[in-house]
Amino acid sequence: MAAVRPNLGRVLPGSSILFLCDMQEKFRHVACFPQIVSVAARMLKVARLLEVPAVLTEQYPEGLGPTVPELGAEGLRPLAKTCFSMVPAVQQELDTRPQLRSVLLCGIETQACILNTTLDLLDRGLQVHVVVDACSSRSQVDRLVALARMRQSGAFLSTSEGLILQLVGDAAHPQFKEIQKIIKEPAPDSGLLGLFQGQNPLFR
C-alpha cells in the first residue's frame, strides 16, 4: 500500500487567494500595527502582480472606522462584518472559486478574527497560510497562543517573504524583477523574534 503523502502546503497563484482582515483606523493601538500593515501591503502588491485575487473585510466600520490608507487597498471593495470570522462575509467569493486551494491570511486580531477565520476555512477543506509577520493582537500572549492554536489545528505558519517566493516560484518569472524590488528590504520587525526564541514550548 502506498504511503499517504503529507500535506506539504504548496502555494500556487492560480489556486490561492489573499485575505486582508480588519486593518482599520480604530485598531492602530494593536501591537506593531504599522509593521503589520506594511507587510500586508507587500502581500497585496505581490498578489496584484501575480493576479492572485484579494478580499478585504472591515469589522463594524461604523464604529471602528475604515481600512487604513497605508494598506494600499484602493480598488478593493471592503466587506463589512460583525462576525469574528471573515468567512460569512466572503462566502460568495469562496463559492465562485472552485479551483481555490490556499488562503493567505493577514490582519488582526490574531486571537479573534484570524483564529476563527482559520478554523472556518480549515473546516471547508482549504489550506490556510497564516502570514505571521502580518498578524497581531493587543496582547502578545493572545497572539502567541493563537498562532500555536492555529498550527495545532492544521494551519501553516509562514513569513511574508517565504510565501511570496513560493508564489513566484522561479527567478525567471516575468514578474520576478518587480517582486524583487518589493522584498529587497527585509520585512519590518513585527515583534515575532521574542515570541519564538528560547525554544518556546508552544511551538515544539
Cell digits of residue 38: 506594511
Catalytic residue among 32, 81, 106, 135: 81
Alpha carbon distances (Å) from 20 to 8, 52, 58, 68, 145: 23, 13, 9, 12, 21
Positive or negative torsion for Cα 155, 168, 192, 30: negative
Cα distance between residue 38 and residue 190, in whole Å: 10
Alpha carbon separation from 37 to 70, 133, 177, 204 (Å, rounded) = 7, 9, 23, 28
Determine whether 120 is an active site residue: no
Integer-rounded Cα Rg, in Å, for the chain is 16
Distance CA 140, CA 145 (A): 9
Specify whether 184 is catalytic. no
Q: Which of 126, 104, 97, 124 is nearest to 7 (CA)?
A: 126
Q: How far apart are CA 200 and CA 143, in angstroms?
A: 13
Q: Out of 32, 113, 133, 135, which one is annotated catalytic?
A: 113
Cα–Cα distance for residue pair 69/83, rounded to 1 Å: 23
Check 22, 106, 120, 133 and give the catalytic one: 22
Helix (H, G, I), strand (E, B) or coil at 4: coil
Active-site annotation, residues: 22, 81, 113
